[in-house]
Chains A and B, each alone.
Chain A
């Protein structure tokens, strides 16, 4: 047991997984909040109520959420090649990771914004607040606990995606488990990779819950 394991390679794979997850998470958070805001603001009785825009954004979100991730990566190959210059390695996985998870987080963000008390937004209007002020000083701070727990859920889905991306050559623990573990019948490698991924998931979950609780003053 464990005699097939080269710790040096394992650490590199772990680093690649963390790299993909964290960078993709930052991209997802930004893109997802933008999508969420767009969905929320253009919805019925929203500040920028606009049926057409809302429908277009909602359709894009729904379509990208419906495409299985592994197929999305393949679909995005030309785009990734154009953007990154290669389709292999952790950086090449980022566009697909972000585009795959941002629509999902966008929906969660929209739900978070919907839960902000309408009265508080009305109060901000009554004080003469600009829309920008309402977004940055009311909507986002007031929905922060839900935004954080949403990003935690998304992060865990993302870790799963990185493993899938690994199978088609993105690197990381998924890649390592598949090529060095599964294909060479070294099950101790698969096992160790699983344990490491679980530890990463638990750490993300713990940090997310901690922050969400800490900032919730309700």
Chain B
């Protein structure tokens, strides 16, 4: 769907050169939600602006839906941009227009007849859940509602791609979640390819299928969200994962030591859930199948687009043979990985 090759952007000011985006090569599949994460200054904002040439690339090429964006003339680019929706951190609505007129703006640009505009605007208002607010001005809306208008506006001309520039960074956590749910919803309903940039791992975890980590203009790590979560390679990625999973490695060793000393009975195991969606009832299944008692000691499981991800430390109490059977069952019959912290002896 989107193919980026050797993309570079160099800013020159006062004879100083700054490479904001450095040799990025990337392929994004149709219908996928692709996240780019990085700290501020990593070049992700420049990167997403290069995709619709709000910034002109210094080098490299971009193909979106078989159309080579980088070789288009100004007029062709204008037409191509109508197929690429974009939403912004600060919403960028026209304060002088009502909700419906804001959403109608891209339709006016595309030369859609007035009657059709009205119809399309109403569909979009329903889609993003703003019914009843058609005549309101942006200043009368909350942040979340403003971003809904932004999304409706970006979708007006039925784009194939949606670019999200820190779309939830100005919103509170609850509103962020509602907007992310809406993005997933339109991704599924409309089969829209979404590229989003963010500095919040929470956003990646919640809605992205694949992720790329940016640092100093380069992509240092990329892959399926779950792989990156479970086996982060780069230091910067580890930091991002810690953002949502808490505890770094040092804490964990201390925790394990503490648990080992506190719970002296039975067997302690750590369960690793990676992309778990079929074994959501694992604990109660074990409790029913085997005559053992289970005590949940510590853990954090979080949901990603590919299922649950996280770890759980549990204590089995009971006959050691039964415990062995239970552990063997988890190991062999489910996709949950088991790590024994202390054997039942």
> Considering the chains assembled together, what is the distance between the CA atoms of A120 and B77 in angstroms?
19
Partner of B54, one of A117, A126, A141, A144: A126
A residues less than 8 Å from B86 (CB atoms):
123, 126-127
Contacts of B90 in A (CB 8 A): 117, 119
Per-position 1/0 for B242-276, Cβ under 8 A of A: 00000000000000000000000000000000000
B109 is contacted by which of A133, A215, A217 (Cβ under 8 Å)? A133
Most chain A beta carbons < 10 A, residue from B82, B96, B108: B96
B94 vs chain A, min Cβ distance (A): 6
CA distance A217 to B108 in the complex (A): 21
Chain A residues numbered 149-167 whose CB sits less than 8 Å from any CB in chain B = none
Interface 0/1 of B46-80, CB less than 8 Å to A: 00000010100000000000000000000001111
A-B contacts, 18 of them at CB < 8 A, read A119-B88, A119-B92, A120-B92, A122-B54, A122-B88, A126-B86, A127-B153, A127-B157, A128-B80, A128-B82, A130-B78, A133-B109, A138-B94, A141-B96, A142-B95, A217-B95, A217-B137, A217-B139
Task: Decide yes or no whether A6 CB sits under 8 A from chain B.
Answer: no
A120:B94 contact, CB within 8 angstroms = yes
User: What is the distance, in angstroms, from A190's C-beta to the closest C-beta of chain B?
Assistant: 45
Residue of B nearest to A134 (CB): B109
With both chains docked as a complex, state the minimum distance between the C-beta of B139 and any C-beta of chain A, in angstroms. 5
Chain B residues near A138 (CB-CB < 8 A): 94
Given A124-B105, A130-B109, 12 further pairs, Cβ under 8 A: A119-B88, A120-B93, A120-B94, A128-B109, A128-B110, A129-B109, A138-B94, A141-B96, A142-B96, A217-B96, A217-B138, A218-B95
Q: For the complex, is B106 an interface residue (Cβ under 8 Å from A)?
A: yes
Known: A122-B54, A217-B139, A218-B139. A127 touches B105 (CB 8 A): yes
Is A185 at the interface (CB under 8 A from chain B)? no
CA–CA, A95 to B77, complex, Å?
43
Residues of A with C-beta under 8 A to B137:
217
Q: A119-B88, A137-B105, A137-B108 are in contact. Are A127 and B94 (CB under 8 A)?
A: no
Q: Is the interface on chain B under 10, 10 to 19, 20 to 34, or 35 or more residues?
A: 20 to 34
Q: In the assembled complex, which residues on chain A have CB atoms less than 8 Å from the CB atom of B95?
A: 142, 217-218
Q: Cβ of A125 < 8 Å from any Cβ of B?
A: yes
Residues in A neighbouring B84, C-beta threshold 8 A = 126
Contact of A141 among B78, B80, B82, B94 (CB under 8 A): B94
Please give me the 8 A-B residue pairs with the lowest Cβ-Cβ distance, nearest first. Answer: A128-B81, A123-B92, A119-B92, A128-B78, A126-B86, A217-B137, A127-B106, A141-B96
Contacts of B52 in A (CB 8 A): 126
- Give the Cβ gap from A214 to chain B, nearest Cβ, in Å: 12
* Chain A neighbourhood of B105, CB < 8 A: 124, 127, 137
In whole Å, how far is A137's beta carbon from the nearest beta carbon of chain B? Answer: 7
List, in ascending order, chain A residues with CB within 8 A of B163's CB.
Answer: 126
